[in-house]
Structure 1
Amino acid sequence: MNIPKSQKRVVVIGAGLGGLSAAISLACEGFAVQLLEKNGQVGGKLNVLRKEGFTFDLGPSILTMPHIFRRLFEQAGRNMEDYVAIQAVEPHWRNFFADGTVFDLTPEPVTMRRELQKLDDKSTAEFERFMAYSRRLGRAVEKGYFAKGLDGLGELLGHYGVLSSLWDFDVLRSMDQGVRRFISNPKLVDVLNYFIKYVGSSPYDAPALMNLLPYIQFEYGLWYVKGGMYGLAQAMQRLARELGVEIRLNCEVERVDLKGDRAAAVCLRDGEVVPADIIVSNMEVIPAARRLLQRSEQEIKALRRFAPSCSGLVMHLGVKRIYPQLAHHNFFYSEHPKRHFEAAFHQHRLSDDPTLYVVAPVKSDPGQAPEGCEIIKVLPHILHLDPDRPLRREDYLAFRERVLDKLENMGLSDLRQQIVCEETWTPLDIESHYYSNQGAIYGVVSDRFKNLGFKAPQRDRQLRNLYYVGGSVNPGGGMPMVTLSGMLARDKILADLAR
């Protein structure tokens, strides 16, 4: 006899955005849901720290595709605006180069053309042709991969067909090669290549399909959560509780108990056993295989194509002055970008001249810092933890000095002397706090030779009632995608129960 959904016990492991989304989506369908989180607050990598009058968003700094989040609230009969407020960020970001060139990416077409004129006379027309290409990629992906929850190459080919897939997804080129089909100015190439930041990969390794990312940003805008990005996690937590989800914080799952080809229960660190009919893991696939399922290294080796994305040295600086040249989002580019990516993804060393993502949220939200002060968040992408060639904290501290040298040399004068408050995380901290795979930030790397840009499937290959959400599974990393993964996991669970 089938058990009614209201009596089916769903346990969601981890309250990142993927876990919150899955819990909300399944509660909307009438399931009894428990959400178990090892840390003291929800949100996963969407985290916050308040220190000496500064409010640091420790995780994601950019919100895109707000319609995905609105859909999450609408399925529960709610309006997102009643839970959290967002505001558009313009310009999208400011680009700084070592030779003094500065130009903005902005959604307003006339202004964007004027900014591109700072580069050369050809860049405007080339950019518009590139954006038509990006739009074609993005719309093809939205129609199938996102909408249908396609979960690998086989499902993709089945949905689109072989010839259509080759054409629609530009599968024979790298992201960098796709950019260079249209763009000749090297600075604009660097800017468009660095959209790969959304998925923590290299444009020289990632498939050209990743050139859909500029379309996503320009089509749906770039947004900030009023009062700080963590407000989005708080809004989802409130919605989950209103729907009856039981959220248990400081509640670490140590393993999953099995019964035949099913996951039967989760065992907590304190010895409690929580039975479950369905389990959803927001822990990444490879750490979950090791920590929760105690699978053999041979079984884990079969997942090696789902290698970790890059990590980062995440520097949160509270400074006692305002830097007027900064926008909300900024990039300070390496003079040798290919060398920077080679260092992080192939040479397993810290770059001599990294590209730096710099966030100054006080530009949109002065209340995040004391009056007359600024928050400078700096994120260079660096190699994930390598157990065969481990780095020490001293290595990361030396790299921090190189980062500060670069920022001071490129216009943030006396930055060291202005710091009054600091919180810096290394890959070691990221791995320890979130159990991410080798300290990765964005889940699985996008690499056309390792995985064609696909992440791991959402269904476990061995257990019929275990599902995964988050950045290590399709559709991938970033706040919108991990939130979408929770809704897609719900769809898969309902489809499987209907069989």
Structure 2
Amino acid sequence: MKSVVIIGGGLAGLSSAISLAHKGFQVKLFEKNAHFGGKMRRYQLGTATFDFGPNTITMPEVFERVIRETGADPKDYFAFKRLNTHTRNYFTDGTHLDMTADQTVMKQNLAAFGIPRESYDHYLRDISTLYALSKEHFFPRTFASWKDYLSPSLTKALLKVHPFTSLDTFHRKYFTNEKVVQMFNRYATYIGSSPYLSPATFSMIAYLELIQGVYYVEGGNPSIAEGFVRRAKELGVELYSNTEVVQIQVSNKKATGVELADGSQVSCDQLIMNGDLLQVYPELVAEIDRPSFSNKKRDKLEPSISAFVILAALNKRLPSLIHHQVYFSQKYHREFEDLFKKRMYSDDPTIYICNSSYTDHSASPDGDNLFILVNAPALQDYETTIDVEKYKQHIYNVLETVYDLDLAPHITHDQVISPEQIQGDYYAYKGALYGVSANSKKDAFLRPANRAKDIHNLFFVGGSTHPGGGSPMVVLSGLNVANLINKMM
């Protein structure tokens, strides 16, 4: 029986493990943390439970596919609930705009901002085309070698997805209201990038939310990871938590196994790394064994944005809050200049709040459970100067003074999760959430390949490789690599 070792128990590692075990491989998965699921994990403050990313779930069929392809029923492992009005967008002038996959309602909401129905129809038609092209030509590929980028069909598809038009420019073709443009431009942050630099291709994210819909998983979004763990165990995957891999052993351009923190060694035929490629690959493999990915090359890549997160448990339910809401900054362009050019926290940040207890009271029986996220710059080589407590209070103050959302009297517990903690907990390069940013055309479309160039049996899965960030894409990377390994055997 062929053996596979997987480093990292995020969604990509788990989906690879499930798929390969079902195909008859002997699979061992090692995770340094106490939990499986990567960033998809739970926090508890008092009686309130919080989901730490991802909060917005789309493409439920991708998660269900992992289970279904093994002959089991996904409904036995997790259940998705579609949200009607999924996101409420607030602007500094006191107006707000609700987003929904109900096209009739959405057109009515946009009409109040001066957007004709025909403009929205045109937009939906074009982003549907972008999604269809991506689904056919980009999502299923592994990009195991440079030859995979030379496919004529891929080149033709690439030229159709507006690679040379920025997301902001693309949205201005359809919408004249600055607040509406700002609302749609936010999709760039789903891949940790700037809407003024990242390509229009990523407007396909809007297709997922505005046509397919946004979902919540009963019991909390980490139920997906828990369902994957359960299925992996049923298929015989050996799962090891609190077990860190400290070195990948390489001989004659082949990974022969791994060394664990306790000094023990585990051999394998194939090796999958589910971790931030920019951080973990250089740490686990000597530079001499990876000439195609030297430290110097890694250091030239621009990391995506990070996040400054506040978990706040309240003692009441606030009537203005739904499941997802966004409080936009007044000068959106300046916010991204702060993040990517000045490498600093913005004093006028856009603030996202997830309140999952709106949909599921059991998540926080005594009041709202607010996951508050602000975009943060990736960590720099010099010392970070942000005062965590001061910036937390600044966010609370912005919500109160600009948006009349006074949380302070109702907070029973709160906790900050900083970019430094994200870097430490998940070995995320400079605290970045999505690996390389998509601000350049090269990095947007030519992400690190799923197979190492210098080590023939080493494969990469997760958000820092193809097809990119976001939980569905991460899961797809795991399935794609599992299929590639199976075909090679």
- Taking structure 2 as the reference length, the TM-score comes to 0.96
- Runs of 4 or more, structure 1, over 6 Å off, are none
1:151 deviates by 5.9
Q: Distance in 2 between matches of 1:231 and 1:374?
A: 20
Partner of 1:111: 105
User: Out of 384, 388, 409, which is 1:396 matched to?
Assistant: 388
Partner of 1:4: none
Q: Distance in 2 between matches of 1:465 and 1:163?
A: 30
Does residue 223 in structure 1 map to residue 218 in structure 2?
Answer: no
User: Out of 33, 46, 55, which is 1:52 matched to?
Assistant: 46
1:431 deviates by 0.6
1:254 deviates by 0.4
**Matched residue of 1:451: which SS?**
helix
1:306 deviates by 4.5
Aligned partner of 2:304: which letter? S
Indicate if the aligned counterparts of 2:353 and 2:370 stay in contact, CA closer than 8 A.
yes
The Cα RMSD (Å) is: 1.8
Aligned partner of 1:86: which letter? F
Residue deviations 1:391-447, cap 9 Å, x none?
Answer: 14x523322222111111244543122111112100000011110111111222112
User: Out of 295, 298, 307, which is 1:303 matched to?
Assistant: 298
Q: Distance in 1 between matches of 2:9 and 2:197?
A: 31
Indicate if the aligned counterparts of 2:92 and 2:403 stay in contact, CA closer than 8 A.
no
Q: Distance in 1 between matches of 2:244 and 2:105?
A: 50
Report how many aligned residue pairs link the two structures.
486
**Matched residue of 1:302: which SS?**
helix
Aligned partner of 2:315: which letter? K
Indicate if the aligned counterparts of 1:48 and 1:59 stay in contact, CA closer than 8 A.
no
Does residue 255 in structure 1 map to residue 250 in structure 2?
Answer: no
Residue deviations 1:107-139, cap 9 Å, x none?
Answer: 11221111112211x343222212211111111
Partner of 2:202: 210
Q: Distance in 1 between matches of 2:334 and 2:6?
A: 41
Indicate if the aligned counterparts of 2:309 and 2:373 stay in contact, CA closer than 8 A.
yes
**Compared CA separation, residues 106 and 161, structure 1 to 2 (3 A):** closer
Partner of 1:281: 273
Within a 5 Å distance, the mapping from 1:20-419 to structure 2 comes to: 20-120=14-114, 122-150=115-143, 155-160=148-153, 162-166=155-159, 168-295=160-287, 299-304=294-299, 306-371=301-366, 373-388=367-382, 390-392=383-385, 394-419=386-411
Indicate if the aligned counterparts of 1:144 and 1:150 stay in contact, CA closer than 8 A.
no
Q: Unaligned regions of 5+ residues in structure 2, if any?
A: none
Q: Distance in 2 between matches of 1:20 and 1:76?
A: 13
Indicate if the aligned counterparts of 2:309 and 2:374 stay in contact, CA closer than 8 A.
yes
**Compared CA separation, residues 152 and 66, structure 1 to 2 (3 A):** farther
**Matched residue of 2:337: which SS?**
helix
Q: Percent identity?
A: 31
**Compared CA separation, residues 489 and 164, structure 1 to 2 (3 A):** closer
Partner of 1:491: 483
Greater CA deviation, 131-140 or 395-404?
395-404
1:149 deviates by 3.6
Q: Distance in 2 between matches of 1:99 and 1:56?
A: 30
1:156 deviates by 4.5
Q: Distance in 2 between matches of 1:216 and 1:185?
A: 22
Indicate if the aligned counterparts of 1:444 and 1:471 stay in contact, CA closer than 8 A.
no
**Compared CA separation, residues 142 and 289, structure 1 to 2 (3 A):** same
1:154 deviates by 5.8
**Matched residue of 2:294: which SS?**
helix
Indicate if the aligned counterparts of 1:201 and 1:445 stay in contact, CA closer than 8 A.
yes
Residue deviations 1:241-281, cap 9 Å, x none?
Answer: 00100001110000111111101111011111011111100
Indicate if the aligned counterparts of 2:436 and 2:443 stay in contact, CA closer than 8 A.
no
Greater CA deviation, 406-415 or 282-291?
406-415
Residue deviations 1:307-364, cap 9 Å, x none?
Answer: 3211000111001121111110001001100001111111101101011111111110
- Taking structure 1 as the reference length, the TM-score comes to 0.94
Q: Distance in 2 between matches of 1:124 and 1:101?
A: 20
